[in-house]
Amino acid sequence: MKIFVTGATGKVGSRLVPRLLQRGHQVTLLVRDAARVEELHRQGAECVDGDLLQPENYLNALRGNDAVVHLAAQFRGVDEQTTRTANIDGAVSLARAALDADVPRFVFASTNHVYGPGGHSRPSREEDELRPAFAYPQSKAEAEAALLALHREQGLGLRIVRFPFVYGERDPHIAEVLPYFSQWNPARRIHMAHHADISQALMLAAFTPGIDGRIYNVADDAPISVAEMLQLHQAESTPEALQQPYDPWDMIVDTSRIRDELHYRPIYPSFYTARDAGAL
């Protein structure tokens, strides 16, 4: 297949693209700085310089592709307006360009943070009401709504994949958030997924026919506690952490749909299996 990917310099994209290339797919990357993807170019990816908000610069490169995988997003380190512009306006601009270019499938990377705390006394399901609590998931929820409207009104072949906490393959993500974890109640649990399984889920979403308009949670089979994560990384909770209230179902998702419809099975069912396999 011919796949158009955004966000190839990010944590997820830099690990997905080599897998696509290794499987023989033709991959085109939308990037702002081609120098940052020289290694992916050497592996066979084509590169297009452009900005999501200026589709005239990449519309021709979209033509003839079988799917768009939209990973580019702003998360930490920017103000709320920048987050909204990148995550909502950027996604909508790309989707409209994909429609103009007749690309039949559009995979959108979202987050399980869109559910927010206090929703249900069970893992979150794709049809649940969204209660995002801060700017990043709020922007993702609004982008989802806008893309679903384009799907209903104009036939965007949309598939939404909601990520949990992503780790593995020398990703520094865990080290980056340990200071936050140390302040959380150690009994709180976190649903995670290894990069191999995120790539698996994205490819299933991109390649499976007949699932336009569907939303999928992706995660491993064994949420891990904050206490375990801290212990495994020689870190400790703050003295106040035990007093912190928490929703025991926040960041825990139901993965029945992706298992039943796309036959997803985690390569690494838990953090421990990834650790034991040397895949961290």
Q: Is residue 222 within a helix (H) or strand (E), and if so which, with residue range? A: none
Any catalytic annotation for residue 115? no
Q: What is the distance between the alpha carbons of residues 101 and 123, in angstroms, rounded to a whole number?
A: 38
pLDDT band at 77 (very low <50, low <70, confident <90, very high): confident
For the range 17-26, what are the long-range contacts, defined as Cβ-Cβ under 8 Å and sequence gap of 24 or more?
A: 17/43, 17/45, 18/43, 19/199, 19/203, 20/203, 21/45, 23/203, 25/1, 26/1, 26/2
The sign of the CA dihedral 258, 202, 152, 86 is positive
Q: Say how many C-beta atoms besides its own lie within 10 A of residue 274's C-beta.
A: 24
Q: Check 58, 115, 136, 167 and give the catalytic one.
A: 136
Q: Is the dihedral of CA 144, 148, 150, 156 positive or negative?
A: positive
Q: What is the pLDDT of residues 197-248, one digit of tens each?
A: 999 999 999 999 999 999 999 999 999 999 999 999 999 999 999 999 999 9
Mean pLDDT to the nearest integer, 244-253: 95
Alpha helices in the chain (DSSP H): 13-22, 38-43, 59-62, 80-84, 90-100, 135-154, 173-181, 195-207, 226-232, 256-262, 271-276
| pLDDT of residue 2 exceeding 80 | yes
User: Mean pLDDT throughout 112-132?
Assistant: 93
Q: For residue 27, name the pLDDT band (cuts at 50, 70, 90).
A: very high
Annotate 135-151 with three-state secondary structure: HHHHHHHHHHHHHHHHH
Q: What is the pLDDT of residue 137?
A: 96
DSSP bridge partners of 31: 49
State the virtual CA torsion across 53, 57, 51, 142 in degrees, nearest 10: 30
Report the relative pairing of strands 67-70 and 106-111 from DSSP bridges. Answer: parallel
Length of the chain: 280
Is 34's pLDDT higher than 90?
Answer: no
